[in-house]
Structure 1
Amino acid sequence: MPSKLTSDKPIILPEQDLYNRVSFAEALAQQVSDLEHYESIVIALVGGWGTGKSSTLNLVRNSLERRKLRVLRFNPWLFSGTTQLVSAFFEELAAQFREQGSEKFLNVGKKLDGYGKALAPLRILPIFGTALGEGANTLQATAEIAKRIGGASDSSLEKQKQDLESLLQGVNERIVIVIDDIDRLRGEEIRDVMKLVRLAADLPNMTYILSFDRERVEQALGGAEVSGRAYLEKIVNVTFDIPSIRKSELAGALSRQLKYVLPESFDGENDFHYKAIFRDVLLPLIRTPRDIKRYINALPLRLSIASQEVAISDICAMEAIRIFLPDLFKHLADHVDLLTNVVSPPHSMLAARELETTALLEWIESSLPGPTEKPASPSISTLLIAPAAERILATAHRLFPQRIEKLRLEATSTLSELQTKDLAKKAYLKKLEHAQGRFEALQAYSGFNKKAVETILTLLFPVTTRLLSPPHAFGVYGEGALRSWRRDRRVAHPDVLSFYLETLLPGGVVPHQKFLKTYNKIQDPQSLQNELDSYSSDSFSIFLDRLIDYSREIGHDSIEPLLKVLYHQVNRRLVDADAVPGWSAESKLAELTRDLFHRFDSEEDRDRLATAVLGKVERLSMRSDFIRLVGRAEVGGNMLISEEREHEMWRSLLNEIESWNGEDSAGRNVLAAVELLAKDSILGLRCQQHFSNPFRLLLLLRNSKTDFPSMRGIFPSLPWERMENCLGKEFLRQQITAALQSYSAGLMHGADEIDFELLQLANRYVKGYRDDDNNICSH
């Protein structure tokens, strides 16, 4: 990617022309060449800022010189800010005449120099008005004003002009004076240049070609009592507009320039989003050749800063907004939430009401004793128009008074839910109305075509389609869309947009290049393991979150080794000090596991995968969570494996618990595994039998004990309600009593005083103690 900036200098040679201006320049040069030598004429070449006036003027000059015409140049902008613009004009022309070499041009140069010095004091000379009169001779008016200000005498100016005219007639060839950049001057200086042209316009054999922005010059020449356009028409004999550039030509030039600055690896031809950006963002905003240069000069720096975290297509779009819609761009930071928040708004109110009312009607009919006793069903429209509760209750009371109480309770409850939904819809619509107001205000900052800005924003930020009027499908985008946008590094994701606007990654975001470096090691489990070892627990959790975005792209052969590595990482980190309670990595891994299992269509393949991964899950609680995740819906699972394989896994887990001797390798929260096993009546009974041994129950108490923070300090705590739910309240009462007796009798080998205190704590729970400050204070 080249870093060299593109110069804003106008082109000079025909082969540099990108917009087919050569033919226009040739035609204009031919018209000037065909003029009779003695004719004097002022030609204006007009166009807006950045449309290529200077380049076109250079092409005209090039064509004139090839036709052997004398072309002199004067750029008033070089003398802007001086008080001697009048004398500078004639001095510059005089110098260029002297450079022509022949004696006759040398004499013209000398005479022009003297004439300019004589006119120099006349900066107050008006272009029109009472001093000149409508049909006054320019030189007569000049002499008149010269007398008033004590300048050159009438005869001196008249004589100098006559001598100059005589010399110019002797030249016997046309002289073209090109004056560019008039519109860059201050208003007063624009008026000075037009005075000069007016004063010298009737000199023989002279043709003036002026280049300027018509609107700017007319504004400078106008005043309270006069029209700038009328002034200009009295000075300029013929006006030509710069040929407009066809959109296809501008698009082609922009496309060619972009190829020089975009990375070679970027394939815009096959990037549909980039094509949409080019069509709907770049082309509407970039309207002149100068716009292209401004844009191409700015883009490489932004690409070098942001391309690792932001999609190249979105960088192209955002940079165009920054350059050409700066007022809109500076307000984007205040609207990140508006532009990126995904919502799931309800269906239209009418459609939702129809569905809910239909469901209510079906319920009423299903509650009736028999088909012969059912009342005629009221129409949906009737239920919508009338107060639904009164109609339903009145019908039920008339036909089936014996069931009125049940109907009343059920109907009231259902209608209450319906009203709650209506309130939710109203709240949503109120928020939507507020968001639409913000969106309208944001668009207004641009000062640009409203429809074009709307297209730009909805293309970059799809969620804003819900803010259009009427909304486009409510702009319904969910977590799946957010993941897709983050994976593709689109500014539609809040993290990506924030980075672009702040050039700083939001807190807790793994840089995209670091993520890709790790992701690319998926096929090499050991390298992946080593790479992930360098991650902090928080960064690892964020990596898992990003990995979910790519779950559909991971090869089938890589899924098993990948899950083995990830479960090993989670197990290792759960014993690290930096893994805080509620660590999100476990839930992220569960979501990723579910997505990856769904990649296999065959239940046999999923069974095989589950068995292989479970063998690498070390902690008992994690093993039970994994079995639940892939197992039956009754235990909160996703039914990813066969029932037979699931039962095998639960039995295997119970065998491990039965052989567990309390070692730390099983991990904390073994109770979680017991809870899931207890959902099965047979396995639950085996759990009770296993923990009827006092020492085994003590191992479970040890593993389950945590600390409870209180105003009075930190106290030991047990998840007693969970234990009662899975093992039984009466079972625990009996077993805790038996364990205390066993300890007192010296029969619980391996137990110490700390264990005795734990058993006493459990006994207090049996008697009603709970973890709150009042109970702590009372014991």
Structure 2
Amino acid sequence: MIGDDPVKSDGDLLQRRPIAEQWAGAIAAADSPSGLVFAVTGPWGSGKTSMLNMVEEFLVEKGVRVLHFNPWFFSGTDQLVTFFFSEVADQISNKDGKQSKVAESLRKYGTLLSPVKAIPLVGTALGGAAEAATSIGTYMEQSLSRSVNQRRKEIEDGFSKLDRPFVVVIDDIDRLTGQEIRDVLRMVRLTGAFPNMIYLLSFDRHRVELALKDDGIPGRAYLEKIVQVMFDVPGVSKASLRQILTAELNSLMKTQPEDIRFNVGIWPDIYYEIIDPLLTNIRDVRRFTASLPAVVALLRNDIELADVIALEAIRIFLPDTFALLPHVIDGLTSTSDYRNGQEENKRQVMEFLGSDPDHEALLKRACGRLFPAAARHIGGSNFDGSWSRQWLRERRVASAEILTYYLEKAIPEVVAHANAAERAFTIIEDEEALSGLLSSLEPRETEGVISLLEAHEEDFANLNPAPGVTALLNQIQRLDRPETGMFDFGPRIVVIRVVLRLLRSVADLARTADLVRSILPNIQTFAAQYELLLLVGYTPNAGQRLIPEEEWQALVRDVKSRVREAGPDELATETGMMKLLRWASSGDDVEVWTLPTTYLDNRVFATALLQDSYSPVHSQTMGSRHVATKDRLAWEALGELVGGEEGIRRCRDAAEVELGQESPLIALVDKYLAGWRPADI
């Protein structure tokens, strides 16, 4: 299933790669002696960021330097300008060490220019207040103006000598507040005239023009003074959306058992009359398909899948209607008026139809396809009691029991988790209280609650994240469990996603480093400390670079040192022990560390290590939906850690004392020791 994340070329389902290549060619070929500003525009959900990703790929192939600036990390014009120049300077230095002098001038220039609000540009929307203009007049008359001009001249001279331009990418401008949008575009206007400096912006044009509108002057006039070239993201046809959705639903079906309840006879009408009208852009498709695996896995094979998919569409796109469902079950499913009377049942049906006035016709069709018993109240056919039994047998939501099962077994649990997540958020700055709440729940409940804390991300900015991060990371060990399928990423990812959002809200590397240093001593396990350092650091494809690299390296050395000093009994309690030990023995430390061989004779340690090296492998045969599971050991990695097969044999002998000769794990180790290896390796 595709998520809601932007794609790159290898995930270009809409065949937009040639367009991105043309745009990249235009940018790379642009003559930019005085700078240029390009923009990728389109409404929310149209795929702007995906287009940016593909444009960047082509620019890099053409040798164009691409830099990134994320205005979400900064608030206020003063901070925005200062950090913009600092961030661009850092990236220039990293990508081209020869430009260190220019980079240093950029940093100093940014410091001198702050606050940029004082510089009048175009109207009040982009220029600041009148008193600010007066202030800058005085400011520029003073000696500091010479420093500004001097630094700008140094930057212009340095940039003019570049053999090729560089592109600064700023995405999601339309998701900022109106004032922040004005701040960013003011900054672009201020800096967009440097030689060989090209901006590539991304935004919803309508949203940005509204933010720039001022004193009766259209925002479009302001925008056109800033952006020289605009690329509009192509629209997506309904046929393309259907093609993508069909591919994703087919992918979901391949993961289901062969006897899945899926009535191909009712599916086309349900799809075209209920689901299809609700999908208007690629983001809708992604939101919809991303929600299905978890719900389908939870309900297993107990409810007709076509009905489940339709109700999930209503849940996502018509939330008010969906919230009403528990209160109108009788009206939608009763074939007689024995319990409530005809008037009450009809009232419930009419309330259902009126729950979303913009989609009343669609809801009427839903009654016909999902809840046929309700049709008699709106001019349709009558059904007798035998139909209720048939719907129950077919596991259709037209049955009151099946609809109740769907609502209570799936959605009420999520609602309960959401309620607990709200309570958790109110105490997120109290480590003891938050830990108590999370630990009072069953592990699966805790995992669900933590996942729903993401919904509060907008309110993280004004919090002290340290207590919450500490409490969450200390849950990783308790929540550890085997993955249940290809759509299950495990509780570790659930925890790390929320921790990332808490730390990212700080938006200051030095402050985040201070927080991490204060958090680490309170993390109860080495494994959780490792996860925190992996998250905030510079490990390729994993680190988010939330703290300075030197600070991160020092913290890594400290934690590695403590792991190396730990005894076998302590290490045996760690989740993901083998990964932790391999990390502790890696790196370019002066001291070369290997696992003490005496640990291999410790039966508790040896057992934990062998158990951690075991993992089931899932596979499918072409043309079959059956998922086969095979037992495997991370044999080579294990051997590297313990010194080859002799070390493994010592572990095996120690673990046998703990597990017994009949243990399947011991038998699997013996199989490997005898020379067997999986045929697929």
Q: TM-score, normalised by structure 1?
A: 0.47
Give the 3-state SS of the residue equivalent to 1:240 in structure 2.
strand
C-alpha separation between the residues in 1 aligned to 2:111 and 2:352?
56
Partner of 1:74: 69
C-alpha separation between the residues in 1 aligned to 2:397 and 2:125?
63
Superposed CA deviations along residues 581-635 of structure 1, whole A, max 9, x for unmatched, are xxxxxxxxxxxxxxxxxxxxxxxxxxxxxxxxxxxxxxxxxxxxxxxxxxxxxxx
Partner of 1:183: 174
- The answer to whether the aligner puts 1:211 opposite 2:117 as a matched pair is no
Superposed CA deviations along residues 383-437 of structure 1, whole A, max 9, x for unmatched, are xxxxxxxxxxxxxxxxxxxxxxxxxxxxxxxxxxxxxxxxxxxxx9xx9898777
For residue 327 of structure 2, what is the amino acid of its counterpart? D
Partner of 2:395: 489
Instruction: Tell me if structure 2 keeps the 8 A contact 1:43–1:209.
Output: yes
Shift of 1:200: 1.2
Shift of 1:112: 1.5
1:137-176 matches, cutoff 5 A:
145=136, 147=138, 153-176=144-167
Shift of 1:467: 4.6
Q: Structure 2: which 5+ residue stretches go unaligned?
A: 413-681
Instruction: Tell me if structure 2 keeps the 8 A contact 1:183–1:217.
Output: yes
Superposed CA deviations along residues 104-152 of structure 1, whole A, max 9, x for unmatched, are x323212221111112223465663269789x9xxxx989626369998
For residue 325 of structure 2, what is the amino acid of its counterpart? L
Give the 3-state SS of the residue equivalent to 1:171 in structure 2.
coil
Shift of 1:297: 3.1
- The answer to whether the aligner puts 1:255 opposite 2:272 as a matched pair is no
Instruction: Tell me if structure 2 keeps the 8 A contact 1:328–1:442.
Output: yes
C-alpha separation between the residues in 1 aligned to 2:127 and 2:182?
18
Shift of 1:444: 4.1
Instruction: Tell me if structure 1 keeps the 8 A contact 2:2–2:248.
Output: no
C-alpha separation between the residues in 1 aligned to 2:291 and 2:142?
52
Partner of 1:200: 191
1:421-500 matches, cutoff 5 A:
439=349, 441-446=351-356, 448-468=358-378, 474-500=380-406
Superposed CA deviations along residues 702-730 of structure 1, whole A, max 9, x for unmatched, are xxxxxxxxxxxxxxxxxxxxxxxxxxxxx
Q: Percent identity?
A: 36
- The answer to whether the aligner puts 1:281 opposite 2:191 as a matched pair is no
Instruction: Indicate which of 204, 221, 232 corresponds to 2:223.
Output: 232
For residue 393 of structure 2, what is the amino acid of its counterpart? R
Instruction: Indicate which of 87, 91, 111 corresponds to 2:86.
Output: 91
Partner of 2:103: 109
Shift of 1:161: 2.1
Partner of 2:19: 24
Give the 3-state SS of the residue equivalent to 2:235 in structure 1.
coil
Partner of 1:41: 36
- The answer to whether the aligner puts 1:318 opposite 2:318 as a matched pair is no
Q: 1:250 to 1:269 in 2, by over 3 A?
A: farther
1:395-410 matches, cutoff 5 A:
none
Partner of 2:606: none
Shift of 1:301: 2.5
Larger radius of gyration: 1
- The answer to whether the aligner puts 1:244 opposite 2:248 as a matched pair is no
C-alpha separation between the residues in 2 aligned to 1:159 and 1:444?
67
C-alpha separation between the residues in 1 aligned to 2:354 and 2:217?
35
C-alpha separation between the residues in 2 aligned to 1:338 and 1:267?
29
For residue 388 of structure 2, what is the amino acid of its counterpart? L
C-alpha separation between the residues in 2 aligned to 1:499 and 1:52?
37
Shift of 1:62: 0.6
Superposed CA deviations along residues 44-98 of structure 1, whole A, max 9, x for unmatched, are 2122223221111010011111122222221222335896111111111111111
Partner of 2:291: 298
Q: 1:123 to 1:7 in 2, by over 3 A?
A: farther
Q: 1:318 to 1:232 in 2, by over 3 A?
A: same
For residue 45 of structure 2, what is the amino acid of its counterpart? G
Give the 3-state SS of the residue equivalent to 1:177 in structure 2.
strand
- Count of equivalent residues: 406
Q: 1:159 to 1:443 in 2, by over 3 A?
A: farther
Instruction: Tell me if structure 1 keeps the 8 A contact 2:120–2:127.
Output: no
Partner of 2:112: 118
C-alpha separation between the residues in 2 aligned to 1:296 and 1:212?
25
- The answer to whether the aligner puts 1:10 opposite 2:6 as a matched pair is yes
Shift of 1:237: 2.1
Q: 1:202 to 1:497 in 2, by over 3 A?
A: same
C-alpha separation between the residues in 2 aligned to 1:219 and 1:187?
8
C-alpha separation between the residues in 2 aligned to 1:267 and 1:144?
72
For residue 296 of structure 1, what is the amino acid of its counterpart? T
C-alpha separation between the residues in 2 aligned to 1:125 and 1:340?
66
Partner of 2:326: 333
Instruction: Tell me if structure 2 keeps the 8 A contact 1:50–1:291.
Output: yes
1:296-695 matches, cutoff 5 A:
296-342=289-335, 439=349, 441-446=351-356, 448-468=358-378, 474-503=380-409
Instruction: Tell me if structure 1 keeps the 8 A contact 2:121–2:127.
Output: no
C-alpha separation between the residues in 2 aligned to 1:179 and 1:143?
31
For residue 63 of structure 1, what is the amino acid of its counterpart? F
Instruction: Tell me if structure 2 keeps the 8 A contact 1:269–1:275.
Output: no
C-alpha separation between the residues in 1 aligned to 2:325 and 2:395?
18
C-alpha separation between the residues in 1 aligned to 2:381 and 2:62?
63
Instruction: Tell me if structure 1 keeps the 8 A contact 2:3–2:287.
Output: no
Shift of 1:210: 0.7
Instruction: Tell me if structure 1 keeps the 8 A contact 2:332–2:348.
Output: no
Instruction: Tell me if structure 1 keeps the 8 A contact 2:119–2:127.
Output: no
Give the 3-state SS of the residue equivalent to 2:123 in structure 1.
coil
Partner of 1:588: none
Instruction: Tell me if structure 2 keeps the 8 A contact 1:37–1:172.
Output: no
Q: 1:266 to 1:258 in 2, by over 3 A?
A: farther
Instruction: Tell me if structure 2 keeps the 8 A contact 1:125–1:142.
Output: yes
Q: 1:142 to 1:167 in 2, by over 3 A?
A: farther
For residue 277 of structure 1, what is the amino acid of its counterpart? I
Instruction: Tell me if structure 2 keeps the 8 A contact 1:343–1:476.
Output: no
Instruction: Tell me if structure 2 keeps the 8 A contact 1:169–1:205.
Output: yes
For residue 234 of structure 1, what is the amino acid of its counterpart? K
For residue 76 of structure 1, what is the amino acid of its counterpart? P
Shift of 1:190: 1.9
For residue 272 of structure 1, what is the amino acid of its counterpart? G
Q: 1:62 to 1:148 in 2, by over 3 A?
A: same
Partner of 1:728: none
Give the 3-state SS of the residue equivalent to 1:84 in structure 2.
helix
For residue 10 of structure 1, what is the amino acid of its counterpart? P
Instruction: Tell me if structure 1 keeps the 8 A contact 2:261–2:304.
Output: no
C-alpha separation between the residues in 2 aligned to 1:168 and 1:177?
14
Q: 1:107 to 1:252 in 2, by over 3 A?
A: same
Q: TM-score, normalised by structure 2?
A: 0.54
